[in-house]
Amino acid sequence: MVIGAVALTAGYRYLRPGDLKPIGSEWYIKSESAYWFGHSSSWDDLYRKSGLWFVRVDSHVSRYRYYAPDCVLFESGLHKIRERNTGVAVPDVVVAACGAHNPIALELNAEGRTLYEEEGLRTLYQAGYSQRAGAWQPVSSEVTPIARIRELANQQPSYRRDWREHASFEMKMY
């Protein structure tokens, strides 16, 4: 009886990595940290529950937001991998992960600033000083509706652990 309880507990810990924080539906965030050679570092990993398993979708994610019923937008280190492989600087990348599909990378303008809003992803361009307002104001902005992002993300093939190697840069947001 005791051996069965220990095995069940150990199995559950394997199925569910510790310290997962639910962010909506089947999506979870796990905060990690490390200390290397006198420097500390921390980051978040994104997980999705798939049956009994918790699958790590991406590591080192930042600025994430859940959109019902089953999507998460987040910033990923994906663009740094692409930059390292090509030697060409690339803009920041926001990734959309919806349901059990491969995430899709949304490429952003290097000068843009993104905001996760209720209706979708807003990109602010060319902030400038407004004499009338007496403050910095965005010159222009663009909203990509979450419905459009969800539509593109749901067209992706079923989730694969090696999705980064096949990441689609379908949407150019500039």
Mean pLDDT of the chain: 78
Beta-bridge partner residues of 120: 117, 145
- Encode pLDDT of 42-101 as tens digits: 888 999 999 999 999 988 888 899 999 999 999 886 556 556 666 665 556 788 999 999
Whether 151 has a pLDDT exceeding 80, the answer reads yes
pLDDT at 78: 57
- Tell me if 153 sits within 8 A of 139, measured CB to CB: no
Compute the average pLDDT of residues 144-172: 82
| Gap between the Cα atoms of 66 and 3, Å rounded | 39
- Report the alpha-carbon angle 84-89-94, nearest 5: 90
Q: Which domain holds residue 160?
A: 2-172
Number of domains in the chain: 1
pLDDT at 163: 83
User: What pTM value is reported for the model?
Assistant: 0.74
Q: pLDDT-derived band of residue 9, with 50, 70 and 90 as boundaries?
A: very low
- Encode pLDDT of 93-144 as tens digits: 788 999 999 998 886 645 557 889 999 998 877 666 666 666 666 677 889 9
